[in-house]
Amino acid sequence: MTVEFKCDRCGEVIVGSDEYDAEVKFDEHSCKGKRELSELPLHILKDLAMGKITEKEAWERAKLSK
């Protein structure tokens, strides 16, 4: 049995031999060509996670808040 997770940000499909293996691989995954979301200030990241803003808007807000 294999388990697959698809990254919503870059579309890459991560495949594991079971759910645990797939989760570990997904946690280690980094999106090629995209910045790490952990670089965003927490209040902006929260709005992004709640679907209030898009990722593009989040990076624009982060740039303005510096």
Same domain, 1 and 25: yes
> What total of structural domains would you count in the chain?
2
Same domain, 2 and 29: yes
Same domain, 24 and 48: no
Q: Is the pLDDT of residue 66 over 80?
A: no
What is the distance between the alpha carbons of residues 23 and 52, in angstroms, rounded to a whole number?
Answer: 26
Same domain, 40 and 62: yes
Q: What are phi and psi of 18, to 5 degrees?
A: -155, 180
pTM value is 0.71
Crossing angle of helices 42-49 and 55-64, in 10° steps, is 160
- For 41-64, the pLDDT digits (tens) are 999 999 999 999 999 999 999 998
